[in-house]
Structures are given as C-alpha cells and as structure tokens.
Structure 1
C-alpha cells in the first residue's frame, strides 16, 4: 500500500444540525449521520451542535462514541445562550489524551480542546472544535483571537468547525462571496457582514485572524482547503475532490448559494503533512444535516516526524 492508503490520520469536522434529533425526539437523522461517520472512520472527529448532549449523564455523547467504534469523547459545556455545544472524539488506538481545556469567550459556544499525543511522537497535539457566533461579527473576531492562542510558538494544533463567516481570499475560491442584494434572508445579511471602508461587506475577519499574513509575518494557522488547492494543487481537473467546495447551507433556499463556512486549520508544521482535503456532500449527508463534512487526511509518518522535538526546534517553534 502507499502512504496515502496505509498510515494516514483522518480528521473530520461536521456540524450535524441539532445533533440529528427533531423537536419531537425523532432520531432518524442521527442514526443516518452515525452510519456515515462509521463508514468514514475518522481518527479525530470535530463536532458541532451536539444539542443537549450533556443531559442524562452525556448519554448521547457515549452513544456516538460507541457508533464510532469506541472513540474517547470530549464535550464542552452548553451555555444559556445555546444548547448546542461542541465536542471532539479521538481514536484511542491512535491518540493518547493528556489534557482537556474548555475555552469560554462569552455566552456562545465554548471551544472544546483536548490535547493528545500520537503514538510514536513525544510532543503534544492540540485539537479543537469550534462553532463561531452566528449573530455577532465582533464576537466571532474575539473567538478567532482566542483560537489563535492555540497556535502559539511551541504548540502544534488542528482546529476546525463552523466559522459562520467566509474565507478572506475570495479570488482563489470556487464560490464567490455572497451577493447580498439577492439574499432574501436579511437577518443573515446583518449577522454575516461588517463595515469596512464605510461599506457593508462579507465578514472574512475570523479567517484573516487565523490564516492571514500581516506585515510580512506568516499566518498563525494554515487553512487546509486553500492549502490543498494552491500548494498541493488538488483540483477537480486532476480527478480530485474540490477542496474549496461549499459546505452550507444544504437546506436553505433563502440564503443564496452555498458557501464554504466550515473549515479546518492546522499550524504550519502540521499542515505540511496534509495529503488531501475533501468536502463530502452526498444524498445521505444532505438528508442528515444542513452542513457538509470536511475531512483532512494527513500522513501519519509525516505528522509523527513534525511532532518530534527536533522538528519543532527546526521550525523555530521551541526556544533554544
């Protein structure tokens, strides 16, 4: 087998609308979502909208863990503002958890942040699932600044989730920024735009904070869809899935075209080990949720190499 088929690490991020459970308690969509994830077999699953999953002793969390084959679950807390917490599941055959943090920046979704070691690598890898605020651009910027702290010197991280905002390099995107004049959901316009140079424009600030280059400084994180398209040259012309494919909304018709609001980021040394990135949208995914799945596949040997103290020092990430 090639490295792509054999020793790889798969990280998936998925916002399953209201955890796949209707207000009446119907859980058909949840079971379908679990079937999809069981087939994908991600080593790390970054989840958003684990609605009311903290109830009854986190019964829903452990049920999802079983359907994933025994992944270790981590759940951030719900808040008075939202009953849709974030979570992370990790495969114990690949990772050994060492720490767990929950980062609160307000009354919206706390960031779920376990820290793990991968077999064969002594340095730690931070994992985080986030769901940026759906209604307030200023809060999204605050949340992005908090996430940027997970990419401080000496740290390696993979973070992903629902950004509720847009990539900051629209010229490279498969789908352009929204044409707001044709969007009938005016509340979306209010929540997804900012004032820049006296004009209302699409909010790209979180992506600028996480993956933007400023005054010659490199970005804190690498946005993996853009990296796959530009550095790896992953394109549909070569028969590969489009790493810049839109992810949401699969259901709404009043919000204009689908956009790429779900994204995965990695610190630069981890991004170097990316093999491919794909957005998974098929009939089953569309039935299970209003968001597509984003899945990044990394080289296992490459990630272990980059998580060695020597590699981190060579990158200038560890003080001498």
Structure 2
C-alpha cells in the first residue's frame, strides 16, 4: 500500500537513475528495492535504458513493476521515460501520445482516475515525466512549452444533466530539467555562477547568450512552466510546510567540472493542487545514481475536494 496509515496520504517521486544501472544488475536491483521501500503512489522515472515496449526490454520493464508493486507505462521511442502508479489508488484511463518532435528521450504522460470515487463524480488527473535536453538551452526552452500541454487537456463531464468542460489538473510532472530553478528561496543553495563551471562545454550547456558576449544561467524552463500554472512543489513546501530547506536540497552533488551542487530534479503540479502538498524531501542515492530522488507527500482527500470544486471552463 502506498497510503500512510490513518491518513489519505501518498507519495510521488521523481527519479533519474543513471542509465538504469548501466547493465549492473545488482545496482539496478538495489535501486528498485530502495524505491519499493518508499511505498510510492506515483513514480516518474528518467533514463530507462534497456526498457522497451516489446521483447527483452518489455520483460525488464515488467520485472521493475513487480519489484516496485506498481503498474507502469513507458514513453515512446528509444531511451524512454516511464510513469508508474499504484493500481490500488489509481486507474489509468489514457496513455498520451507524446511522439513529439525535438526530443531525444520523449516524455510519458497518463491520465489517472482516483479509485473509490462515486460514479458520476470521477476525479481524473494527469501524471507525467520529462527529461529535458542535456546540452541545448534553446531545445529545453521548446521542450518546456511541450510540457505545458500536460496542463492544457480539456475533458467533458456530465453533471446534473449538463455537459461541462474542464481542464484536467496536473497531479505531478517529475522532471530532470537540466537547468536551474528561477526563484530560489532564501538560504537555498544558490544557482551557480558561470565562472564556477570549469568545463567549457558544460558552461555552454547550462547558460545562454542574451546579448553578444553576455551569458545567463538557464532557468527559462522553470519560468515557462510557472506562467502555465505549473509550480515547483519543492519551492512551495519550503515556504509553506515544515519541510523547510530540506524540500529544496540539491539533487546533484558538486563537481570539479560541472560546478556547485544544484537542483535540476523537480516535481511540478498544477497551482490549484498546491494545498494538497504536505511535505517534500530529497533522498540521497549516493552509490546508486548521480541524482538524488525528490519525494513529495500529498493528501488525496484534499486533491479530490479541490477537483470537485473546480469550476468548469467558460462557454
């Protein structure tokens, strides 16, 4: 069970597992057992090397679901992302087609329906995962606009004899943004300065030119998502829950070449669902991966209440 006793809480995680263990079965197994121990309701996974929708890759993906005790869906093409979910909490009603141009590792998105809800009052949510470009700020900027599509899905519901339209709230998009948060909270680990990144190629990968000869660190994807109503749950939790700065801890360690520790791994949710965020933490994965895991604890009852009170779109 992914719910926590006596409360309708569940956990959402975003995990970039470096090359899915890079063929090291013991490391792969250790990571999956670690993830299983978190009792997750939703898991957003990047770098699923070796998984596929057919053949031996499918068998490996199915093995991961058994260990995690979660159902899952892979994104399209090679180097897929994946979304897993607890089938006791959610029913999948749609796997999105995300074969969008301009992605090396395509996003995955599913529409999930909360179980245990009365017929006629279904609560549907979007869960997704994205891995933005490692080397190209302009491509990340474009990809961030693609991610905003997760928040722009209109569905029709029949209620009291009338058909109304609503946009589905985004429960979570777990992302390796390969870029920086735009609005660090007070005392959060600061965004690196360009001169702190010694590797010249990485300087180019993590910054962009504004005028000739002037470069700024890339936080544009974060700003784009914010404009579209998708909020960084870590930032919210740091400011509004007892999580404090633990919610915005770095997810990547400092490196001689890549500069100071930073936080490229983030979970985004629709702004209207922020009151359901109870806690956010970063769980260290040293020895297993080069990225730590972001875990958000959410209140399912609050999510249901918010969705039921969501006004329909204007005609």
TM-score, normalised on structure 1? Answer: 0.85
Q: Find the aligned partners of 1:246 and 1:57 in 2 and give their Cα distance.
A: 32
Question: What residue ranges of structure 2 are gaps of 5+ in the alignment?
Answer: 153-165
Q: 3-state DSSP class of the match of 1:294?
A: strand
Q: Find the aligned partners of 2:179 and 2:75 in 1 and give their Cα distance.
A: 22
Structure 1 equivalent of residue 250 of structure 2: 246
Instruction: Select the structure that is richer in strand.
Output: 2
RMSD between aligned alpha carbons? 2.1
Structure 1 equivalent of residue 34 of structure 2: 36
C-alpha distance after superposition, 1:76-101 (max 9, x if no partner): 1234xxxx320011110000000001
Deviation at 1:211, TM superposition (A): 1.5
Q: 3-state DSSP class of the match of 2:287?
A: helix
Q: Find the aligned partners of 1:169 and 1:156 in 2 and give their Cα distance.
A: 23
Of 145, 160, 168, the match for 1:155:
168
Q: Find the aligned partners of 1:249 and 1:5 in 2 and give their Cα distance.
A: 36
Deviation at 1:171, TM superposition (A): 5.4
TM-score, normalised on structure 2? Answer: 0.86
Query: Mean Cα displacement is larger for which, 197-206 or 8-17?
Result: 197-206
Change in CA separation of 1:173 and 1:64 when aligned onto 2, cut-off 3 Å: farther
Aligned length: 291
Structure 1 equivalent of residue 112 of structure 2: 116
Deviation at 1:44, TM superposition (A): 0.5
- Superposition pairs of residues 69-88 of structure 1, within 5 angstroms: 69=69, 71-79=70-78, 84-88=79-83
Structure 2 equivalent of residue 216 of structure 1: none
Does 2:111 align with 1:100?
no
Structure 1 equivalent of residue 205 of structure 2: 191
Structure 2 equivalent of residue 204 of structure 1: 219
C-alpha distance after superposition, 1:149-192 (max 9, x if no partner): 22226221121110000001135461111122132222111111
Q: Find the aligned partners of 1:18 and 1:173 in 2 and give their Cα distance.
A: 32
Change in CA separation of 1:125 and 1:171 when aligned onto 2, cut-off 3 Å: closer
Question: What residue ranges of structure 1 are gaps of 5+ in the alignment?
Answer: 213-218, 237-241
Structure 2 equivalent of residue 255 of structure 1: 258
C-alpha distance after superposition, 1:95-130 (max 9, x if no partner): 000000132231421110011101244131011010
